Amino acid sequence: MRCWGSSVRLMDMTGQTHHAFPAPWSHRIGIWGGMLITVASAIATGIIGTLTHRIGATQNLPIGLVLGFVLVGMSAWCARSRGGITGLAVHLIFSSAIVGFMAVYGPGGDVLIPMAISGATLPFLSRNCGMIWFFGVVVMQIVMALLPARWFFIPNGDAGADDGNEARAAHFSHVTKTSGQGFAAYHVPHRPRRQ
């Protein structure tokens, strides 16, 4: 079994050797395992993003919003690369449900996402940060669903490692035909070690 980060040598059609890295472990555990990771990631993203979205809002600095949206973006990107549109839809449903659940008033009248705060003396972000977070989580993931699928592709460097040279040649000839390059653009060229 190969550790994540160790490389596999592949040879392209021109005879040059390249290193390919295996896909991350969460992309190799099957569809149901990937969906379970997507659900856990969406729940964690919704909770952590909701707890941090107001950082800097009283000073009119969107520090927490930026951190929250970066977290949602990375988690949603991984969900789409791991499970396609279905994975992104599952991520959208669970992260939005958590954010919506945390926006509801609790038994003591407390709320973690205040939606509309009135007061002309308060900064803009202090008044509207909750609305931006609440709707931004959904809008960001819908926009990610409209992006091209090639932006979410993670190659599996182990593909064909045990199948011999035919699988590698078929893979590289397909990449060469579709990309117009002599090698796959996502493979790192081998550099000789210094002696």
What tokens does 35 get? 């969906």
Which pLDDT score, from 0 to 100, does residue 75 have? 95
Mean pLDDT value across residues 154-171:
49
150: pLDDT strictly greater than 80: yes
Instruction: Name the packing angle between helices 31-52 and 124-146 (round to 10°).
Output: 160
For residue 189 the two structure tokens come to 């060229």
Q: What is the pLDDT of residue 23?
A: 72
Q: How far apart are CA 163 and CA 13, in angstroms?
A: 17
- What does the pLDDT read at residue 19? 56
Average pLDDT over residues 99-121: 78
The answer to whether 183 and 18 have CB atoms below 8 angstroms apart is yes
Q: What is the pTM of this model?
A: 0.68
CA distance 165 to 11: 9
CA distances from 145 to 80, 85, 141, 150, 179 (A): 8, 7, 6, 12, 24
57 within 8 A of 42, measured Cβ to Cβ: no
The pLDDT score that the predictor gives to residue 160 is 43
- Is residue 83 within 8 Å of 34, Cβ to Cβ? yes
Structure confidence by residue, pLDDT tens digits, 125-148: 888 888 999 999 999 999 999 999
Return the residue matching tokens 């009248």.
109
Q: How far is CA 104 from the centre of its chain?
A: 27
- The two tokens of residue 138 are 């959904």
**pLDDT band per the 50, 70, 90 thresholds, residue 11:** low
Token output for 69: 């949206």
